[in-house]
Structure 1
Amino acid sequence: MKGIIGKKIGMTSIFTPDGKQTACTIIEAGPCVVTQVKTADTDGYSALQLGFGDKKEKHSNKSEINHFSKSQTAPKSFVKEFRNYFEDKNLGDTITVDIFAEGDKVDVVGTTKGKGFQGVVKRHGFSGVGEKSHGQHDRQRAPGSIGGSSYPSRVFKGMRMAGRMGNDRVKLKGLKVVKIFSDKNYILVSGSVPGHNGSIVLIQK
């Protein structure tokens, strides 16, 4: 599996040669530095640790500075492991968006926007109890009954109720690489990608 760490820039649309308009997400992918090479002999599994985004040295502790100095690079803000990388890389190597090609199918992992504590109408799509009647003025967005009385005399686990919404890790599979701008480290993938603009995403193949 090959992959890279990127930052979501925003969305745009481009026209394909046949004249069709395609909605795309712009991701600034890399450049990423190989900060650690893990092998089955030393670590029990094979993986590459990649770092993305420079961090000021005054905001890093000594263990971080020492770790990144082994790969001759500045401390990184984001670090991620990719298991069983598609090719051998050495400590300190740079990985750019050129590992992908236009037309490739990739998986993008991101964290969805956090919505805070939400009710059942927004969180689960409930329609509410119904219209107002005499003496009822706050039932439009109410959840309704959640359990029985004598049986089962409890609320089943997994009952859809109000609660925290969003801020979940989501993987979108099979997104098409529409265009690559190597000079700007930009990659355009079809469709939307979870997360707000400026959030960190992982692109895998």
Structure 2
Amino acid sequence: MSGIIGKKIGMTTIFTNGEAVPCTVIEAGPCVVTQVRTEENDGYKAVQLGFGEKKEKRTTKALMGHFKKADTTPKRKLVEFKEFEKDLALGETIRVEDVFEEGEFVDISGKTKGKGFQGVVKRHGFGGVGQSTHGQHNRGRHPGSIGACSYPARVFKGIKMGGRMGHTNVTIQNLKVLRLFPEKNLILVSGSVPGAKNSIITLHK
């Protein structure tokens, strides 16, 4: 599973064969190989990539030594990728055109926007007043009964109720690579990807 780390720039629309296609613009790479894991030393094969610049004063001494081994500046995000198509050396730079091609499909992982504490209508799609499914007849956005009585005399785990929503890791699969702009380290993929603008995401083959 090879891939690259990127940053979500925003969304736009491109035209293909006269059809408007919504797509997400991602700044993918350049990434630096900060560690190469081997079967002999680590028990598995993987490549650790670093993306984004970070101030030296905000980096621990242990991580500074880690980056100096790779002869690179401190990086904001470190991610491991397994099964890279080619052997990579410590300190090597990976660009978007080295991993992806136009027309292929990728999986993209990111952290969704945080919504805070939300009720059942927004969080689970309950109907509320005017619909027969869940909701109270006189309090529009309340959850209604949760079904507990003298038996089982408790509320089962997993009942759909209000609670914290968003800010979770989500992977969207099979997004098509529409365009590559190697000179600007940009990649355009069809559809939307998790996260807010400028959030860090990972792209996998």
Question: Is the TM value for this pair above 0.5?
Answer: yes
What residue number does 2:102 align with? 102
What residue number does 1:197 align with? 197
The TM-score, its normalising length taken from structure 2, stands at 0.94
> 1:129, 1:143 within 8 Å by CA — same for their partners in 2?
no
CA-CA distance at 1:118 after TM superposition: 0.4
In 1, Cα distance between equivalents of 2:62 and 2:151: 58
CA 1:154–1:129: 2 relative to 1, 3 Å: farther
The number of residues matched between the two structures is 200
What residue number does 2:185 align with? 185
Structure 1 portions without partners, runs of 5+: none
Cα-to-partner distance string for 1:151-204 (whole Å, 9 max, x where unaligned): 332211110000000001000010000000000000000000010000000000
In 2, Cα distance between equivalents of 1:203 and 1:170: 12
Cα-to-partner distance string for 1:57-96 (whole Å, 9 max, x where unaligned): 1211211111101111001011011122221100000000
Over aligned residues, Cα RMSD in angstroms? 1.5
What residue number does 1:152 align with? 152
In 2, Cα distance between equivalents of 1:143 and 1:90: 56
The TM-score, its normalising length taken from structure 1, stands at 0.94
Amino acid paired to 2:145: S
CA 1:130–1:154: 2 relative to 1, 3 Å: farther
Cα-to-partner distance string for 1:41-68 (whole Å, 9 max, x where unaligned): 1001110000001111121121111110
> 1:130, 1:139 within 8 Å by CA — same for their partners in 2?
no
In 2, Cα distance between equivalents of 1:126 and 1:54: 44
Which structure 2 residues correspond to residues 51-66 of structure 1 after superposition, within 5 A? 51-66=50-65
CA-CA distance at 1:120 after TM superposition: 0.4
CA-CA distance at 1:27 after TM superposition: 0.2
Cα-to-partner distance string for 1:13-34 (whole Å, 9 max, x where unaligned): 1011x21111000000000000
> 1:51, 1:79 within 8 Å by CA — same for their partners in 2?
yes
> 2:8, 2:197 within 8 Å by CA — same for their partners in 1?
yes
In 2, Cα distance between equivalents of 1:130 and 1:141: 11
What residue number does 1:22 align with? 21
Structure 2 portions without partners, runs of 5+: none
In 2, Cα distance between equivalents of 1:186 and 1:138: 52
Cα-to-partner distance string for 1:74-123 (whole Å, 9 max, x where unaligned): 01011011122221100000000002100010000011100000000100
In 1, Cα distance between equivalents of 2:36 and 2:95: 17
In 2, Cα distance between equivalents of 1:85 and 1:45: 13
